[in-house]
Structure 1
């Protein structure tokens, strides 16, 4: 061993540095808030499948089978369009505008600015300038499937003879099963599962609970003047609601407090 190797026995040690190995701080795993990828929507050009009537609004497309959509013709009739490749959305002629009529029914306007209606022979046309009884449709969701019922109590379907769009079936079979796909931005509410009383910052939450359990008839809020830091600590320790109740008890502002 050379003289250099004999002297250089370890790494450079600075003055005041301890020989004890440093403990590595364990990093807490962060919960990912990244939304789940909707592969079904991606395969349809980011047109996602609606699952309730509240979602049927704005730009939509009515799909039969896989990637075949109801297509508007310039003569006011509708037909089944050609199948699309995976990843492609509907063509402009296949895009409709959904208009909410009430909590149960919607109307659809074609790209020619005409509303879809059911004629007496069951043919679906797009020649109406306004929404009447014949232009209203009721989406029927059941067991993860969807059918569209017209004013004549018949369901939207495809004429097997010429691929025209009709509403003649009194019962919804597999041929009447559709998907209504939307291109409107989805409403994402991260607080949808959080009780109303617990929405907001610490101070707002305390006010919410005082309002909920207040026993005074004059409706004047009795809010604790104590620092809210104890509430923040209680929330971390899992004793948040007990701390809130204790603060309300001191103010005699809770009908459940003695």
Structure 2
């Protein structure tokens, strides 16, 4: 292959002429939003727990889950069929294998939990919570109760699952929710990514939107804001036709006050 074949084809530039990028075009493109990437809303709480997010409704409690009491401490299954509270985890770490359960919805209110040993969680007559059941009956069903962003698990006997502060055993002895009954069910199931595509300048009605863009792009040499006084219905029509940004730019251009208008 000849050296000529390696030559890059470029726009012709005359000697002494410098190629300049148009900042005006770039700014207008940014304003219209065509070059901006959508903002992904990050669940910081899930990040702190290794990607395990908090269930907000009973419908969220299905599949692979963990039950958290306190801060990054999870209910842990033992090989004797009992449960205890696991050691605290570091920020960013998820639960250990013994702290992972499988949730099965019974109906729109109740769920059953199966431990890694293949047994279902059950409340016994003495209030102990065990994991020795082969099948789901009424005593193996738990109702997630949500109130003021807090959650507790209600058993068939009307007692709430909790952690005994003396020996960290899992029990269900109280019919009222206290600090030891408050828990969180966390899931690592894939969720739909939430995208925020609305620029902050477009919060509010169209009058506020125009004012926001004027603040962003207008020169304030005399410290006075200049807003086009034409009927705002022009903006309503433009929004319906999908040309809102172009109309906003045109209205500012007529005021001779926009840094990026001709």
* Interval of TM-score (by shorter of Structure 1 and Structure 2): 0.5 to 0.7
2:92 maps to which residue? 87
Cα deviation, residue 121, structure 1: 0.6
Matching of residues 56-75 of structure 1 within 5 Å: 56-75=61-80
1:155 maps to which residue? 160
| CA-to-aligned-CA distance 1:101-143 (integer Å, 9 cap, x gap) | 1000000000000000100011000011111100000000111
Secondary structure class of the residue paired with 2:95:
coil
| CA-to-aligned-CA distance 1:52-74 (integer Å, 9 cap, x gap) | 11111111110011010000000
Q: Does 1:29 align with 2:39?
A: no
Question: Bigger CA drift: 30-39 or 179-188?
Answer: 30-39
Cα deviation, residue 188, structure 1: 4.9
2:185 maps to which residue? 180
Choose from 32, 46, 57 the match for 1:41.
Answer: 46
Secondary structure class of the residue paired with 2:112:
strand
Secondary structure class of the residue paired with 2:40:
coil
1:170 maps to which residue? 175
Task: Kindly indicate whether the alpha-carbon contact (under 8 Å) linking 2:164 and 2:180 is maintained by their aligned counterparts in 1.
Answer: no
Distance change in 2, residues 1:186/1:234 (3 Å): closer
Q: Which runs of 5+ in 1 are unaligned?
A: 1-9, 14-21, 191-232, 239-258
Where has structure 1 moved over 6 Å in runs of 4 or more? Answer: none
Secondary structure class of the residue paired with 2:116:
coil
| CA-to-aligned-CA distance 1:132-181 (integer Å, 9 cap, x gap) | 10000000011100011011111010112211100111001122110111
Aligned residues: 180
Distance change in 2, residues 1:135/1:235 (3 Å): farther
Secondary structure class of the residue paired with 2:242:
helix
For 2:135 and 2:88, locate their aligned partners in 1 and report how far apart those are by CA, in whole Å. 31
The structure with the larger Rg is 1
TM norm structure 2:
0.63
Secondary structure class of the residue paired with 1:54:
helix
Secondary structure class of the residue paired with 1:86:
coil
> Could you say what the CA RMSD is over the residues aligned between the two structures, in angstroms?
2.4
For 1:12 and 1:174, locate their aligned partners in 2 and report how far apart those are by CA, in whole Å. 74
Cα deviation, residue 189, structure 1: 7.8
